[in-house]
Amino acid sequence: MAGIASRRLQKELKEIHTQGCPVGIQLLNADNFEEWHLSLEVMGESQYQGEVFALKFRFEPQYPISAPAVQFIINEKYKAPVHPHVYSNGHICASILGNEWSPVLSVIGVCVTLQSMLASCKKKERPPDNDRYVMHAPDNPKKTRFHYHDDTV
Amino acid sequence: MSDDYSDDEYYYDEDEDMMDADDGDSAPSDEEMDMEVFDNDFKLPGKARKKSYEVDSEPLSQAQVERLMQTDIEHISGIFGVDENVASLLLRHMSWNKERLIEKYMDHATAVSVEAGITPKEEKPAKAAASSRAGSSSTGPQRSTRSSKSSNKLKSPSPAPKEDEPYTCPICFDDTQTRTMALACGHAFCSSCWNAYVTGKIREEGEHWIRCMAEGCGLVCPDPFVREALGEDKATWNRFRELLVRHFVGCNKNLKFCPYPNCTYTVACPAAASKSALLSIVPTVTCGASPDHKFCFGCSIETDHRPVICAIAAMWLQKCHDDSETANWIKSNTKECTKCQSTIEKNGGCNHMTCKKCKHEFCWVCMGPWSEHGTAWYSCNRYDEKASQEARDAQSKSRASLERYLHYYNRWANHEQSAKLSMDLYKKTEQKMEEMQISSDLTWIEVQFMKKAVDEVFKCRMTLKWTYAMAYYLDRGNPKELFEDNQRDLEKAVEDLSELLEQPIEPEVVPSLRQKVTDKTVYVQKRNEIMLEDTANGFLEGRWQWNTSVPGLE
Ligand SMILES: [Zn+2]
Ligand SMILES: [Zn+2]
Ligand SMILES: [Zn+2]
Ligand SMILES: [Zn+2]
Ligand SMILES: [Zn+2]
Ligand SMILES: [Zn+2]
C-alpha cells in the first residue's frame, strides 16, 4: 500500500472546507500531505483566556495507521501553553498521540481533544520533568516514549 | 553527569533493529508435546555435577518454548472451558501467572475478560481522551460544532458493509476495498487497513498486544485474527510469534531470551532464578544456537564476568563510570618510556614493553623495569596495603583511596585492553600458522596449538580483569591474600604465554616453540581453572569478606 495518508488527508481537508472547523480551531496551512498547521484557542472561561496557540502536525505515509507527530509551534508569534502535559519545547505528553492513538481519530479530533485538555486545566505549570526532558528531547516527539502522566492531574 | 536515561520516565526509541525471525521452524502446535522433559518447575534432567563455577542450564528453541506456552494454554482452556485463543489472551493479560489468573477468573470472569480485551465493555465507555480528565466538558466550553456526540472521529460510523451499498472504510476512505474485518466489538475496517495497522504494531512497535483500531475500544486481536490480517506476510507473522515467546520468557524467572541479535533461543536456568542465588553463583550460560552465544543469566553487564558475582561486577562498573573522569588518563593507549620519555604505543597484548628508541624494557602495568619481573616476579598484581598505609599518613585520605582505586582500575583496564588487542593477535597468529606450515613440516592441524593458546590467553585475561574488580572490594585478610596469590600465579602464566606468542618465529625453533607453547597453554588453563574454582567455592562457602556493603549481602 503506497501510503494511504494522501487520500485520507484529502478527505479530512474536504470535510474541513465543507463543514468548517470547530470553534476556536483554524486551519493555518495545509499545502501538502506532510505537514499541517492549525491554530488553537480555548473558548469560554479558562486559564488560557486570550491566548492563541498553534499546532504542527507531521504525517507519515502510513497516517492514519500511524499517529501523526503533533507539537505546539514556538516562534515569534506563538508559544507553547503552560500546562502540566506540555513541555516548554512544544512536545505534548498525551496518550492519544502515542499508544492510545486510534486510526479513526483525525486532525480535527486531535485538536478538539487538546483543546479540552487545556480547557480543563486548573493550574498553569510545566511538567515536573520539563527541564530534563527538554534538554534531551529528540526533534520529533514521536521518538519519545512518554510515560503518560496521571490523567487526573 | 547523567547521560544515562534508561531509568528515567521516558527513553528514546532508537531504531531498534528489527530481528527477523526468519521462517525457520514450522508451527509447533502439531508436534508432540514431550513435557516430561520440562515440567512446571523447570527441573532439569540430572546431569553430572559440573565444576563449581559452572551452572546447570538448558537451551530451548523457540518451538520448545512455544510448546511450554501451549501447555499452559491448554490447561487454562480446559479449566475455564474457553477457546484456546481466549485462554492465550487471558494468560498474556495476567503475565502468564496461571494461579492468579485462575483465582481472579473464578471470582470475576466477566471483568477479567473485559480487561483482557476479549469481550467488549457493557456500556459505551465515555472515552477519556489523552491526558485530559474524563469529564472535561463540564469545565470546558461548548467546544465543537460537530463533535457533540462524544466522538472525535471522522463522521463515518463503521457498520459492516451492506450488500447493496458500496462500502467506504472510515480509516482510508478507499471505496474500492471490499473485504472488511472486525473483532467481537463489530468495529469493521477494511482488511488493507487492518493489515497496515497490525504490521505496524508488530514491526514498528514490537507489540503483541494489539487493540482494535476503533477509538477507545479495548478489544485485543487474538492470534488467528492477527494471522488473517497479515495475510501472506509470513515474516511478520513469525516476528509476532517471537514477540509472544519473548513475552512469555520475560514473565518467567527461570527463563531468559538469548541477547544476541537475531537469535531466537531461550535459556532455562532455574538455579539462577532468585536474587539470592545470584549472591553465590555467577550463572554464565550459553544458548543452544551457538557456543558463542554466551551471556550472564543474572545481569546484562557482560557476557562472562566470572569469577565475580553480578552485584559486585555492577558495583565496580558503576564506580568506574562515576570515576571515569579521573581515571581517563590511564585508559590512554600511550605511555612514555620511563627512561627516555619517548612515547610508546601499546600494540600487542603483552605487558613486556621494549622502547624502540632506547631499548629499555619495562612492565606496561607498573612501569617498573621488566628485569624485576622476569625471574623474581614481584607483586605487580597486589596493591601494597602497607605502602598505602604510609601514603595515608603522608597524604590526604581521599588521595590515598583514589590511588588504591587506580591501582585496581589500571590492571582491570589493562586486561580489558589487552583482551581487545587479542583480536589483532588472532590475525597475526593465523599468519604465523601459515608460515609455520611452510617453514616446518607441521600440518594445519598441528599448528592449531597457536590458536588454542590465543584463545586461552583471551579467556584468562577476562578472568583476570574481573579478579581486580573483586580484589578491590575484598577485605584484607587471609582469604584475600590467597586470592591474590592465585591471581598473581595466573597473571604470570598468562603474561609468559602471551610473550611467547609474540615472538618472531624462526623455522629452526618451531618444534621447541610448539612444545613450550603447548605446555604453557596447559599450565595457564590449569591456573585459570584454579582461580575460577576457588573463587566460586569461596562464594558458595561464604568465605569472602568485603570492605564495603554489597547489595543483597547481609
Ligand atoms: Zn481502510
Ligand atoms: Zn473495537
Ligand atoms: Zn543465542
Ligand atoms: Zn551477571
Ligand atoms: Zn626509551
Ligand atoms: Zn609490572
Q: How sure is the predictor about A78, in pLDDT bands with cuts at 50, 70 and 90?
A: very high
Residue with the bigger pLDDT between B81 and B148: it is: B81
Distance CA A44, CA A33 (A): 32
Give the model's confidence band at B152: pLDDT under 50 very low, under 70 low, under 90 confident, else very high: very low
- Quick one: three-class SS letters along B182-244? CCCCCCCEEHHHHHHHHHHHHHCCCCCCCECCCCCCCCECCHHHHHHHHCCCHHHHHHHHHHH
* CA separation for the pair B272, B254 (Å, rounded): 7
Q: B330 CB contacts (<8 Å, ≥6 apart)?
A: B406, B409, B410, B413
pLDDT, residue B366, reads: 67
Please tell me which of the candidates A43, A104, A106 has its beta carbon nearest to residue B143. A43
Q: What is the CATH number of the domain that holds A80?
A: 3.10.110.10
pLDDT in tens, A37-76: 999 999 888 999 999 999 999 999 999 999 999 999 999 9
Q: How many domains does chain A have?
A: 1
Inform me whether the pLDDT recorded for B142 exceeds 60: no
Find the CB nearest A119 among B128, B136, B195: B136
Neighbours of B340 (CB within 10 A): 13
Counted residue by residue, chain A has a size of 153
- Chain B residues with CB under 8 Å of A152 CB are 133
Residue B190 has a pLDDT of 94
**Is the CB of A22 less than 8 angstroms away from the CB of B128?**
no
Interface test with A, best of B131, B136, B189, B210 (most A CBs within 10 A): B131
Mean pLDDT of A24-28: 95
Of B64, B7, B4, B36, give the one whose Cα is nearest residue B289. Answer: B64
Which one of the ligands is nearest to B343 CA? 5
pLDDT one-digit tens code per residue, B205-237: 899 999 999 998 999 999 999 999 999 999 999
Residue B122: pLDDT band by 50, 70, 90 thresholds?
Answer: confident
Please give the span between the terminal C-alpha atoms of chain A, in angstroms, as a whole number.
40
**In Å, how far is A40's CA from the nearest CA of chain B?**
11
- Is there a domain that residue A80 lies in? yes
Q: Is residue A105 part of a domain?
A: yes
Domain assignment of residue A143, yes or no: no
Domain that includes residue B122, residue range: 63-251
Average pLDDT, chain B: 79
pLDDT at residue B43 tops 90 = no
| Lowest mean pLDDT segment, chosen from B33-47, B368-382, B452-466 | B33-47
Instruction: Answer whether A119 sits within 8 Å of B141, measured CB to CB.
Output: yes
For B549-554, what is the mean pLDDT? 82
- Tally of structural domains, chain B: 2
Residue B183 lies in a domain: yes
pLDDT for B67 beyond 90: yes
Instruction: Please report the beta strands in B258-330, taking only residues with DSSP state E, as ranges in sequence order.
Output: 266-268, 284-286, 294-296
Say whether pLDDT at A149 is over 80.
no
Question: Stretch B479-506: mean pLDDT, rounded?
Answer: 91
Domain boundary among B251, B274, B295: B251
Here the cell at position B257 is: 531470551
Q: Pick from B513, B495, B517: which is nearest to B505 by CA?
A: B513
Tell me whether residue A153 is in a domain.
Answer: no
- What are B333-365's pLDDT values in tens digits? 456 666 766 666 655 556 677 777 777 777 666
Both B354 and B214 in a single domain? no
Do both B106 and B247 map to the same domain?
A: yes
Same domain for B219 and B364, yes or no, is: no
Contact criterion met (CB below 8 Å) for A80 and A88: yes
Model's pTM, two decimal places?
Answer: 0.72
Distance from CA of B141 to the nearest CA of A (A): 5
Assign residue B38 a region (left: φ > 0; alpha: ψ between -120 and 50; beta: otherwise): beta
Is A97 contained in some domain?
A: yes
Of the pLDDT bands very low, low, confident and very high (cuts 50, 70, 90), residue B326 is low
Task: Please tell me which residue in B350, B355, B363, B460 is annotated as part of the active site.
Answer: B350
Note the pLDDT of residue A51.
94
Assess if residue B399 is contained within a domain.
yes
Is residue A120 one of the residues assigned to a domain?
yes
Both B360 and B499 in one domain: the answer is yes
For residue B251, the one-letter residue type is C
Tell me whether residue B531 is in a domain: yes
Range of the domain at A89: 4-136
The verdict on a CB contact (< 8 Å) between A133 and B145 is: no
What are B377-416's pLDDT values in tens digits? Answer: 444 665 555 554 454 454 445 556 777 888 898 899 889 8
Partners of B142 on chain A (C-beta within 8 Å) are 23, 43-44
Which grid coordinates are listed for B383?
A: 596493591
How far away is chain B from the Cα of A99, in angstroms, using its nearest Cα? 10
Residue B284 pairs with which residues in a beta bridge? Answer: B296
- Pair B317, B190 in one domain: no
pLDDT value for A148: 64
Query: Using alpha carbons only, what angle is made at residue A35 by residues A30 and A37, rounded to the nearest 5 degrees?
Result: 55
B229 with B317, same domain: the answer is no
CA angle, corner B520, sides to B518 and B526, nearest 5?
Answer: 110
pLDDT value, residue B164: 58
B365 and B224, same structural domain? no
Predicted local distance difference test score (pLDDT) of residue B349: 57
Clarify whether residues B375 and B518 are in a common domain. yes
Here the CATH number for the domain that contains residue B441 is: 1.20.120.1750
How remote is the CA of residue B309 from the centroid of ligand 4, in Å?
A: 6
Q: Rounded to an integer, what is the distance from CA B161 to the centroid of its chain?
A: 49
**Out of A142-146, B179-183, B491-495, which region has the weakest mean confidence (pLDDT)?**
A142-146
Mark yes or no for CB contact A112/B197 under 8 Å.
no
Amino acid at the residue B425: L
- Please name the member of A12, A100, A120 whose beta carbon is closest to the beta carbon of B154: A12
Give residue B324's pLDDT. Answer: 64
